[in-house]
């Protein structure tokens, strides 16, 4: 069995090359008994599971084919697609994971999360995250018209882009203490969000940062159970 980990694809109709890359990935791993873990920011914005569009229909059809070949898809929400729910995933038998999830592969424990909650030095963002992810507020937003949610998502993206330009590199990265608190009980911490792909050695443990997808390549992590859980963190081109 192959365990495949990706994050920060930021798929949207505005970037068809990224969509093509994701579809190619599904085809490549379709016959490899794959468990695919998408650790957030699958989509550049998600305004609700009632959203439909031709470009999204193509993705759903490919996902249905992928799972029909006895593969599985697991998803954790990110800061861009936290409104994505089980209703959308039901179309292709996907599984919504909690924000923090521990997976065990051949007696090794892997802690999975998107990564934004680890950036505790960014106090303003953490305050915003707590408010916008409130289940009551999120439930109210989901009941508003799609047009309103689209404007809201556009506003969030614009504000986020402007704010990032004013913040330092360190503030937007993970906090060392937050990482230490998480990795104590596991062998691997796997996350995305920061767009800084790298394997960090922390004693006998590893923090693996998945990279964001670009127009010609993506960083992906592959763990093969049949090869003694061999870990392959690679730049995959398409």
User: Which residues are CB-contacts of 136 (< 8 A; sequence separation ≥ 6)?
Assistant: none
Query: Token pair of 27, please?
Result: 């085809």
Q: Which domain holds residue 32?
A: 2-237
CATH of the domain at 167: 3.60.21.10
pLDDT in tens, 162-218: 666 656 666 779 999 999 999 999 999 999 999 999 999 999 999 999 999 999 999
Q: Round the average pLDDT of the chain to a whole number and report it.
A: 92
pLDDT in tens, 134-174: 999 888 888 898 888 888 888 877 767 666 665 666 677 99
Taking alpha carbons only, the member of 9, 1, 3 closest to residue 238 is 9
DSSP code per residue over 106-163: TTEEEEE--SGGG-TT-HHHHHHHHHHT-HHHHHHHHTS-HHHHHHHHHHHHHHHHHH
Percent of the chain at pLDDT > 70 equals 94
Taking alpha carbons only, the member of 65, 67, 25 closest to residue 42 is 25
Q: Where are the beta strands (DSSP E) in the chain?
A: 2-6, 34-39, 72-76, 95-96, 101-105, 108-112, 188-191, 198-202, 205-209, 217-224, 230-237
User: Which residues are CB-contacts of 68 (< 8 A; sequence separation ≥ 6)?
Assistant: none
pLDDT in tens, 75-90: 999 999 999 999 999 9
Q: What is the pTM of this model?
A: 0.92
* Distance (Å, whole) CA 34 – CA 44: 24
Q: How many domains does the chain have?
A: 1
Tell me: pLDDT of 42 over 60: yes
């Amino acid at each position: 069995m192959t365990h495949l980990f990706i994050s920060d694809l930021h798929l949207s109709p505005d970037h068809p090359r990224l969509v093509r890359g994701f579809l190619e990935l599904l085809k490549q791993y379709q016959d490899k008994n794959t468990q695919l873990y998408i650790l957030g920011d699958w989509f550049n914005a998600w305004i609700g599971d009632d959203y439909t569009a031709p470009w999204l229909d193509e993705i759903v059809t490919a996902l249905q084919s992928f799972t029909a070949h006895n593969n599985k898809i697991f998803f954790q929400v990110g800061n861009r697609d936290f409104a994505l729910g089980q209703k959308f995933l039901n179309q292709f038998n996907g599984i919504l994971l909690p924000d923090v999830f521990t997976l065990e592969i051949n007696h090794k424990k892997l802690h999975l999360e998107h990564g934004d909650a680890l950036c505790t030095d960014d106090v303003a963002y953490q305050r915003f995250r707590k408010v916008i992810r409130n289940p009551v507020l999120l439930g109210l937003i989901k009941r508003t018209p799609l047009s309103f949610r689209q404007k809201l998502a556009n506003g969030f993206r614009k504000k986020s882009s402007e704010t990032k330009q004013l913040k330092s590199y360190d503030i937007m990265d993970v906090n060392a203490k937050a990482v230490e608190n998480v990795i104590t009980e596991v062998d691997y911490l796997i996350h995305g969000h920061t767009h800084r792909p790298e394997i960090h050695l922390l004693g006998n443990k590893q923090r693996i940062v998945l990279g964001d997808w670009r127009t010609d390549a993506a960083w992906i992590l592959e763990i093969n159970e049949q090869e003694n859980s061999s870990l392959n963190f690679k730049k995959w081109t398409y």
